[in-house]
Amino acid sequence: MSSDEICLECNQEYTDTSWKWCKPCNSKHLQNDFNNWTSGNDRIDKFIQDAQLNANDCDELIEWIPYDRFKDVKPIGKGGFGTIHYARWIDGFIGKWDIENQQWERVRNWEGEVEVEVALKKFDNFVNFSDILNEMKIHFKTNNILGSIRFYGITQDPETHSYMMVLEYAKDGNLREYLKINFNNINWEQKLLNLFNLSINLMRIHELDIVHQDFHPGNILSSNFKGNLRISDFGLSKLIGANPNNPEKKNIVGVLPYIAPEVLSGDEEYTKASDVQSGPKKTGIFLFHKNFCRTSN
């Protein structure tokens, strides 16, 4: 075994060699810091702490991030349940433990900077806190699959006291708006590649037993639509088998044109197939084919 695969603190093999992540050692370092921060909410504190103690690499890590660690905050979008803000995170996200300096080493970009662009999802006051926490937990489950927008952590607006998710910023926006502007510039090869990548990403989410329930072009984001697409907004999502006795489980949610007919009629509940077969004429994910492949006539 190479020395690069061995943790210099405990002499055991790294849990993740690419990031030099040692779960036993890093869990201790994170736990030692628990008394130095709080969200002000026990349920959020426990959610973050559990995630940190069980992280197998830095992608599975989320943090409590004080609001003053962001700059250039400005609103950029409005959804049904909250507002999206652009911001720059001064510290950037954790990469690995710096043994020599006994502190966390933050990931640097190709320019050598740790500062990173992020999106802050601020929830409206009328949204039930349990629903907010449920969205956070479901989104967090997708952090390590490369199919969704990355979830870095949680912060709080100091004026409204609303909690905010700190998310990966997708500079090219959502697929719906991108197609309005760029449709005639996308060739067939790129259309099919995007459809393939989107199908793979949805499959990865379904493999986690997550049903999205709100899968449409407005919730598909990217920083480069020629290279990657990410699925976002898990506010209406559910875990298969969770709350089986919930009397509200048959509630119809989502954007009307993208709801599967059998769900809309009330005959069936949301399933993985509902995500795939959503939209008029049960075209499902191929409804995006309609968006990608429509003619300009």
Question: Which residues sit in the known binding site for ATP?
Answer: 96
Residue 197 CA to residue 251 CA, distance in Å, equals 30
Q: Tell me the C-alpha distance between 221 and 169, whole Å.
A: 9
Q: How far apart are the first and last CA of the chain?
A: 62
Tokens standing for 194? 């995007």
Could you identify the residue written with the tokens 């008029």? 280
CA distances, 38 to each of 113, 146, 158 (Å): 27, 29, 14
Distance from C-alpha of 97 to C-alpha of 103, rounded to nearest angstrom: 6
- As a whole number of angstroms, the distance between CA 253 and CA 236 comes to 7
* 63-64 vs 151-156, strand pairing mode: parallel
Is residue 205 within 8 A of residue 234, CB to CB? The reply is no
Rg (CA), the chain: 20
**CB-based contacts of 218, cutoff 8 Å, min separation 6:** 174, 175, 176, 255
> Which tokens in the block code for residue 270?
């949301």
